[in-house]
Amino acid sequence: MLDAALLGLLLVAIAIGYGLGYRQAGRRRHRPNSLAASSQALSRDYFVGLNYLLNEQPDEAINTFINVLAVNSDTVDTHIALGKLFRARGEADKAVSIHQNLLARPALSQHTNEQIQLELARDFMALGVHDRAQGLLTTLLEHSSDEHHRYTAKQLLVDLLEREKAWQQALDVIQPLLKQHPKMRRPAAHWLCELALEKINEGSRALAKKHLKKALQLDDNCVRATLLLAELEVDNGHYARAIERLDNIPRQEITHVPTMLPALKHAYLRNNDEMGFETHLYRLLEQTPYTSTIIELGQLVHQRDGVDKAIELIGDRLRATPSLGGLDYLIDLYIESQRLSGKPSPDTRLLLLKHHTNALLLNRPSHRCQHCGFTSDALQWQCPSCRYWGTIKPIIGVEGE
């Protein structure tokens, strides 16, 4: 059965056939005798290529189509399309050959030449030959007068520098675009967070703080920058400041409340303010009754007032907002309560329920990318699938928070 790439090739082949027929018909009207033989040869080669394609021999088909098509202003778009198909099929080396062959033709216009250079840069990026791609893109930025080509080159260069983790260089390229393209502010803010982490590892906390504040200027909803700033405040012993920063996160992105809870707990406990932490948890529950917050509060009550008070609290909360994780924790509390009451072993029905909740929670992801649906256990600030920044968030609902 033909796959998507093969179907695309078939459509290209049909277009080639139509284009060849149209051009040859026009030429025959002007020079019928001189081109009759070449027209027959082209037609024969075209149908040979089409036969290869229908027999699912795409490599032979593409080579035949390339040989049929002379490179000129009429066929250059078809050559570019074939190169793209090669790259889409994971054969970027063949795409490089096609695009380099096109660049060797001196008769092409500057606009077409720049278009081919962009495609060749994409080929090199697909092959991981980043220095060659960067050279092409830098040349385009220096010499192209076409605004669209310059913008595309900047986007590709930023993508390349991001892959290379060259955060400052990526920022330098993207800086002039931020005003006209505000969507680029989010990735730029995360690059500043990456630079801040580098400075923290180098012991330059003042520079790290500067990067993080600039990240929030670019994207005031950057939860990551707020978390890192709070961690720096805790390290400096400024616990109240850390709590104040963390208190901004529900406003920035409410679904990241579970993400901030460990840092919030750490700041309060380092400040010897357990009651303040409990009050803060109740305030968070009024905004969003997430499972992580309920369990954190249950653990505080359990430690201070005992297991039965914790059972009462968690039971009441789960009646309003049921969740699988909350139920699993409540079962643990019931099992502990039975042990404390002197029972030699917990009720087998509780153990059975615990077995089922464990099985349901096993290998269940806790985070999902809001852009492409990628799931993972740990929070990642850049999605490894779609490579968008800040789109992975805790999963909300009965099976999540």
**Binding residue ranges for Fe cation:** 369, 372, 383, 386
Q: Could you tell me the CA-to-CA distances from 34 to 27, 69, 70, 119, 383 in Å, in that order? A: 9, 19, 18, 37, 60
Annotated binding site: 369, 372, 383, 386
Q: Is 391 helix (H, G, I), strand (E, B) or coil?
A: coil
How many whole angstroms separate alpha carbon 342 and alpha carbon 8? Answer: 72
The CA–CA distances, whole Å, from 140 to 109, 128, 130 equal 15, 20, 15
Per residue, the 3-state secondary structure of 224-271, as one string, reads HHHHHHHHHHHHCCCHHHHHHHHCCHHHHCHHHHHHHHHHHHHHHHHC
Question: Cα–Cα distance between 341 and 270 in angstroms, integer?
Answer: 34
Closest-CA residue to 340 (of 348, 332, 328): 332
Give the C-alpha separation, 150 to 114, whole Å: 10
CA distance 134 to 153: 9
331, 359 Cβ separation under 8 angstroms: no
* Cα distance between residue 10 and residue 57, in whole Å: 11
Residue with tokens 């060797």: 104
| Eight-state DSSP code of residue 104 | T
Distance separating alpha carbons of residues 225 and 206, to the nearest angstrom: 14
Q: Locate tokens 């505000």: which residue?
A: 182
State in Å, rounded, how far the first CA of the chain is from the last one: 43
Whether 225 contacts 256, CB under 8 Å: no
